[in-house]
Structure 1
Amino acid sequence: MDKIKLFLVDDHKIFVEGVANLLSDQSDLTIMGWAYDGSSAIQFLRENSVDIVLTDIQMPGMTGIELTQKIKEEFPDIRIIGLSMLDKKEIVQELISSGAEGYLLKDIEKSELLTAIRKVASGEYYYSSSIAGILMKNITEKDLLTKREKEIIKLIAEENTNSMIAEKLFISEHTVESHRKNIFRKTNAKSIVGLIKYAYENNLV
């Protein structure tokens, strides 16, 4: 079984190195590296294969939310877990709506961090218990779709092929296909007809 490739982003060097050391003894994980700002993270991801990014939210320059949006646009296969001290409803909702698959508070135990990483790597979502409470009250299935995914749903409903969507959005067909897979997973649609039905029911088209 392939190891889960992790990348860490946080402007606090001691915290990043601490998390890296904390996870270094796990046989199924590989720490690919870390960055102290969003721009450096994007540059690294363009040159290296990564499965999961663990990112702080409040960082100078590019925030964790902005970083999540950029990653999901350019690398839709990469899964993202927010790791923060912030538990404000608006911030949690914005990160999840940007495409993150998980949100953890920095006071969690090592065991919960490992559980979150493994669940997200397997295609699930994971949130700290207090965060899950916020989400249950305020996040709907539709909110889990990113802005780019909503754009693609609209184009699919207009009968555009992958190549046509790629041309219109200036992205590769591979990226379009990755977005489509994520869209079907999030909406539980089994076919194009089911997806279009979902889109109309949720006012996405």
Structure 2
Amino acid sequence: MNQSLRSIRLLLVDDNPMMISGLKMLLRQEAGIYICGDAPNGKEALEKLEYLDADIVITDINMPVMNGIELTAQIKIRFPLVQVIALTMYSDPIYVKDIMEAGASGYVLKNTSRAELREAIMLVAADNTYFNNEIAGSVLDAMLDFPKTKNNGFEESHLVTLTEREQSILQLSSEGHSLETISRKLALQLPTIEMCLKNIYRKTNTKNNKELLNYGKIHNLIRSTPA
């Protein structure tokens, strides 16, 4: 989906009508986001996806008829281009692990701010993943079954993988390009580049560009370029 051409189309799925109503009020204030429909369970969501041109499904996990985990798995089979963000009250890593393994790209708690929910939507729409800050650490611990070792001050984790877009941003950054230049080279809006970069920081557990580039060199995420 090209964000510059149209709004991000959302399908909201939750068995609580008040939650659906609240989300509509919250997200309708956001530019570039359009709610194309809603459903009270996974079964009805799948039926609506047959005719609604949704980009992202935002779903609760615990619902009657078909829960969010089953819904996510079916979406990835039947509508592989549709992204899924879980929006739930559950912070238990086992729920995160199950729905991410089913194919979700984001996990946000229901007490999140409007700004953070928008950030999650924008990142997932740009083919990235997003974890709520409150659960990010426990999520990695739950999903990783690899030993961690210290390497020049960084915790090495084999789960850290970058999307093709994130890899391109990291590579161009390592070559000394500004965010504005990277935006032009990749034909992406500057806010999208900034959000992708923030996601890379989160994935690599780095705080600034210097740490990130050092991490990238240590973990062979940056290609050497001819002098």
Is the pair's TM-score, using the shorter chain for normalization, greater than 0.5?
Answer: yes
Task: Report deviation, 1:136.
Answer: 1.7
Q: Which runs of 5+ in 1 are unaligned?
A: 145-205
Structure with the bigger percentage of helix: 1
> 1:116 maps to which residue?
120
Runs of 4+ in 1 over 3 A off after TM superposition: none
Q: Which residue of 2 aligns with 1:85?
A: 89
Bigger CA radius of gyration = 2
Separation (CA, whole Å) in 2 of partners of 1:76 and 1:24 = 26
Aligned position for 1:95? 99
TM-score, scaled relative to structure 1: 0.67
Q: Identity of paired residues, percent? A: 37
* 1:25 lines up with 2:24 in the alignment: no
Q: How far apart, in 1, do the equivalents of 2:94 and 2:140 lie? A: 14
Amino acid at match of 1:93: K
CA displacement at 1:135 relative to structure 2: 2.0
C-alpha separation between the residues in 2 aligned to 1:59 and 1:100? 16
> Which amino acid letter does the alignment assign opposite residue 59 of structure 2?
T
- Residue 130 of structure 1: SS of its match in structure 2? coil
2:129 corresponds to 1:125: yes
Aligned to 1:16: 20
Give the deviation of 1:91 after TM superposition: 1.1
TM-score (norm 2): 0.61
Q: Residue 94 of structure 2 contacts residue 142 of structure 2 at CA under 8 Å; is this kept in 1?
A: no
Secondary structure at 1:104 match in 2? strand
Using the TM superposition, give the Cα deviation of residue 37 of structure 1 relative to its aligned residue in structure 2, in angstroms: 1.2
Alignment partners' CA distance in 1, 2:41 and 2:142: 29
> C-alpha offsets along residues 46-92 of structure 1, whole Å, 9 cap, x if unaligned?
11211000000000111100000011110011000000001112111
Q: Distance in 1 between matches of 2:142 and 2:19?
A: 30
User: How far apart are the structure 2 equivalents of 1:61 and 1:7?
Assistant: 18
Q: How does 1:54-73 map to 2 (within 5 A)?
A: 54-73=58-77
**Counterpart amino acid of 1:119?**
L
SS state at 1:47 partner: coil
Please give the secondary structure, in 1, of the residue aligned with 2:21.
helix
The CA distance in 2 between the partners of 1:39 and 1:136, in whole Å, is 30
Highest RCO, 1 vs 2 (Cα 8 Å, sep ≥ 6)? 1
Aligned counterparts of 1:89 and 1:25: Cα–Cα separation in 2: 31
Separation (CA, whole Å) in 2 of partners of 1:38 and 1:97: 17
Separation in 1 of the partners of 2:80 and 2:60? 19
Residue in structure 2 matching 1:107, options 106, 111, 116: 111
Aligned to 1:74: 78
- Offset from partner CA, 1:68-122 (integer Å, 9 cap, x none): 0011110011000000001112111000000000001101111100000001001
CA RMSD of aligned residues (A): 1.5
